[in-house]
Each structure stands twice: as C-alpha cells, then as structure tokens.
A and B are shown apart, each in its own frame.
Chain A
Amino acid sequence: MQVTRKNSLFTRYELIGFAILAAIIFIVFPMIMDTFRLNLFGKYLTYAFVAVGLVLCWGAGGILSLGQGVFFGLGGYCMAMFLKLEASTPENTSIQSTPGIPDFMDWNQLTALPWWWEPFHSLTLSLIAVIVVPVAFAFIIGVAMFRRRVGGVYFAIITQAIAAVMTILIIGQQGYTGGVNGITDLRTLLGWDIRTDEAKEILYFVNGALLFVCLGIAQYVRKSKLGRLLIAMRDQEDRVRFSGYDVANFKIFIFCLGAAFAAVGGAMFTLQVGFMSPSFVGIVPSIEMVIFAAVGGRLSILGAVYGTLLVNWAKTTFSESFPELWLLGLGALFIAVVMAFPNGLAGVWSEHVMPRLRKLGSRGDSGTPDAAPSTPAAE
C-alpha cells in the first residue's frame, strides 16, 4: 500500500478514450462523409477548441467566462486579415479607387492601409498574432479581474459585456474591420487555394491534429499539480490562498490558456469556412460555446468535443427544418442537462455506461475514463 502514488499522464481508460476520439475524427468521419459534410464537421470541431478551454477554466477552475467568442473571434480575425491582404493584390482590386487595399476599406473611403494592418502581410507575424493578441487581451482582463478578486457571477457578466462591446466595436469600425459582414472573400494561403475540395480535406486534418495538440496540453495541465490546484481553488479558494499560493496568478494562467485554445479554433474556422464575422464574437455564440461544454460534461475534455459535435449537428439538422424553434430547443437542452445530468454526456458515460460495461467485462481495474477529478490510483 505504501508506495509512491504514480501520477501517469493517461490512465488506461483515458488512453482508450483518446484513441476512440482520434479514430472517429481521423478515420470514421473522412470515410463516411463527402467533402461538404467533412468541412461542416471541421467547422464544428473549431468550436471544440473553445469547449476544451472552458472545461479547464470553468469545469476545473470554476471560472465561467461568457465571452470566449471574443478570443475565438480575435484568433479568427488575425488569420482573416492575413488572407484578406493576400487576396487584395493590386491586380485583383484594380477596379477600386485605391487598389491594393481590402475591398471593404475602399468602400469606406479609406485610401491607405491602416498601420496596424501592416504586420498581417507576413504569415509568420500573423500566426504569432493569432495566439498573442487574444492571450494578451485575456491577460489584461485576467489581471484586472482576478487581482481585484472579481469572480463567479460578476466575472461571467463582465466577460459577457466585453463580448457585447467587442461586437459593437467591430461592427462600428467597418472601414477597418469589414463591419457586420466581417472579412469575406478569402482565397489563398501563400498561393494555395483554400476553397478547393482538396484543400478543405487537408485543412480538416490539420484542424483535427491541432485539436489533439490542445487536448494533449489540456490533459497535461489537468494531471499536473496545477490541475489539482484549480479543483482545490474552485471549492476552497481561501484554503489555497492560505496555503501560500497567489490564487490570482493561477486564474490568470488558465484563463489565458483557454483564450489561446479558442484563438486556434478561431483561426482554423477562418481557414475552413473562408470568412470571419462579428456573429462569432458576441454574446450568443459565447453562450452557445458554454452549452457545448456543459452538454459534453464540463469536467471532461473529451466530453466537451462530443458535446460540441452533438449540439452542432443537432443545430444544423433542426434549424434547417424549424429555424425559429432552435434557440428555444437549445435553451431547453441546456436546462435539461444542468438539471438532470450536471456532468453532461461524460457524466452519463462514467456513471451509467461504464459501470455496466465493467460489470460485463468484470475485470477489476481502477480509474474512470474522462470523469474529472480521479484520485491517483495506487498502482
């Protein structure tokens, strides 16, 4: 009994869980779907980046952000700015009064590229900006809020307000941002046409791979002492503080990490869908992203991915037939999940399905799959 408690990165069940998800994303989907559907599911998976970040912030750390769309959008916009500049060559835009600048700037009587667009001529700088801009913004919000010990509902409301302000800002500054239409008509990435079927398939796989990178990071964080500290802070913040931790720093870190994940998702969204607009930044998409995580199970990073896929698939299916009912349905789904299955799909799985499976297999093994705070198994 008295041996070192191993703290391996994956338990056997978690490893199987990762493998199954990888098989679904990399083998099953590409096999059964045509390019159009695959691209659609690739788009859904970009939201999964946000949901995974929310599992860390909200599920583990108890920090509910209702403004993750802001970081998704900032990542997406940084990518879109690069693609837009590449699409706006003087030849392509020769009919404009100022050729060589994005079309929406020309429509808004701008005669030169704003200085802060200049770095987005470079792919390297743009890719750096995809991560750095949203993370820097999250850092500023985090320092301002968590240092003052703003938390809980107040934090949620403030992040929601930030999402609203961000949308208004983007829409209002249409000469610089493309306004309500967003940045559209994106064509090539370093000369590679992203609109072809082949490109869409490749981007789907790149997106899947990046999602697994984020899942791997999230898994590492959850299994580190920092992951356990988040759970501790969620329940007994004062005890953590009076054990010698500067609690705010940990909250800032996890909020920035969630923002980074969201930003990668946003950039991949732009690449796969071919545009970015304020409708992915504001309050409604931000809340939808929280619902994805809640449905999947806010304690489970893999659950968050399934939740995202399921809700989005349902959205596409139902909103085609009953567009007006969808929002109501989504609200009802959220309430149902919170009331009946507070741990979402992952909870249903680990509390109802797994025990039965285990009984069937009757192989005495410890450790639950992706149900969050698992105690270290004495190996």
Chain B
Amino acid sequence: MLEHAKGNPNYVLMVEGLTVSFDGFKAVNDLSFYVEPNECRVIIGPNGAGKTTVLDLICGRTRATEGSVQFKGQELLRMREDQIVHAGVGRKFQTPSVYEDLSVYENLELSFPKGHGVFGALFFARDEEVNARILEIAELIFLDEQLDEKAAYLSHGQKQWLEIGMLLIQDPQLLMLDEPVAGMSVAERKKTAELLNRIIQDRSVIVIEHDMGFVEDIATRVTVLHQGKVLSEGSMERVQNDPKVIEVYLGH
C-alpha cells in the first residue's frame, strides 16, 4: 500500500505517520492510511483504540504531534477547523450534536454553506435556493415531516440522521461519521445503510462503527485499529479472517 500511495493524486485523503501523544500516551501511533474517491472506509477496533482520535486529528479538533494529513493536496494539519470544513471535510460526532433549541429546518439552515462570516450571517436571506436545498436534504434523511419540530423532540436515531443531513447540505468531499447507527433500532439501521450507500456515490466516507452487520452492508474497505495502530486492512472478508484481528477484536 504505502509504496504506490506516495504521490498518487488519486487519493482523496492521505494520512501518513500520524501520531498524537497525550502526556506521553500515544493514542494514535504512526498511523498511515489512504482513502480513494467514492470509497466507504470503515474503521473498526476495540474501545479506546483511537478511532475517534483519528477523526479529531483529521478535522483539527486535536492537534497532531507528528505526521501529515493531505486532503486533495492540502495539508490539513496546518489549517483552522473552519478552514478544514470549507476545504470539504465534514464530521459527525460520536454523540449526536444537533441544536436542540432550534427546529430541524433551522438546524439544516445553519449548516448551509453560505453566510459563514459575521455580516454574512447577519444579512443571510432564506431564499428559494436555501429552502429548496433544505427540503431536498430533509427528504434524504427521512425528516421531511419533522421540519418544524424542535430538534430536542426527535428520537435518538432521528438526531443522528439530522446531523448527517447537516453535513450533507455542505456537500463535503470527505464525510467522517463517528458511530452513526449507535442507539438505532434495526429498522433505522437498515435505512441508514441505505442512506449511506446513496451518499457514497458522490464522495468519500469514513465511518467508525461497531456493528458488524452494518459494516458489511456499507464498507468498501475496512481498517482495524488497535492501540493507535493499523492492525489489519482490506476487504471485510479478509479482515474478518485475519488471525490477528480475531485475536484482539472479533474473538471475544
């Protein structure tokens, strides 16, 4: 992998030698992986493996100690969080983060990629373009009936969808989802898998997930993380049969 990856312009995201140390504890340790266009990469691994931390490093929430994260040729590690977003990276948090006091419509509106400066926001107009896009996304995330509802009143699963919708409305090239089906019913999981498969057609997605059935439904390739390092990588089938993986993760 590593050898032919160097300088390959076909990768959307190139993570190389990524390391972060919290007071000497290396939560992510010399990690490298590459994501192709239209790929759905699933990262799995036991609790505390460093999965969330990897996303934190890519989106600028945590500063890396070493390494490089190249997104379409730009070095993300030197950019501010909002600049990374504008470059085309969207990220969903592990616990659903929506604006509970605002309606579903307003949640989506605030994520619309326009009027992001102080005065842009002050004079932002809710025009037809914005409205049409919000309705379009709401339908995609199964919330077109709930547009005027306060986000606080949504079910846990619906909040997850709403947050995904808030990212989709920005049309990011790279979408990172931290446990998108956690707390969802079986029916909701199926709908989410459907949604993700539709989303992937226009972009690359990194998903962190524990639910193996769900992973099988969506993954193009799987990366297994263990103690901040890649333990195994490849198709779901290959990873599942990797003895190292069985030992630390799938075995118990």
Contacts and interface: CB of A to CB of B under 8 A. Distances in A.
Nearest to A241: B81
A137 to B, nearest CB: 19
A378 interface: yes
A15 B194 CA distance: 46
Contacts of A241: 81-82
Interface stretch (A41-49, A114-122, A156-164, A231-239): A231-239
A290 B126 CA distance: 33
The size bracket of the interface on A is 20 to 34
A244 interface: yes
Given A226-B118, A242-B91, A235 B170 contact: no
Interface string A223-258: 011101101100110111111111001100100000
B118 A249 contact: yes
Interface residues of B, number: 43
A232 B121 CA distance: 13
A350 to B, nearest CB: 14
Contact of A245 (B82, B126, B128, B163): B82
A378 B98 contact: no
Interface in A255-281: none
A376 B149 CA distance: 10
Contact of B61 (A238, A249, A375): A238
Given A5-B131, A224-B121, A224-B124, A242 B59 contact: yes
A244 B102 contact: no
B222 to A, nearest CB: 25
Interface of A: 2, 4-5, 7, 221, 224-226, 228-229, 231-232, 235-236, 238-246, 249-250, 253, 373, 375-376, 378
Interface of B: 59, 61, 80-82, 85-86, 90-91, 93, 97-103, 105-106, 109-111, 113, 115-118, 121-124, 126, 128, 131, 135, 144, 147-150, 163, 166, 170
22 contacts: A4-B126, A224-B121, A225-B124, A226-B124, A228-B102, A228-B109, A229-B110, A232-B110, A235-B101, A236-B98, A238-B61, A242-B85, A243-B85, A243-B170, A244-B82, A244-B116, A245-B116, A246-B80, A373-B101, A375-B103, A376-B105, A378-B148
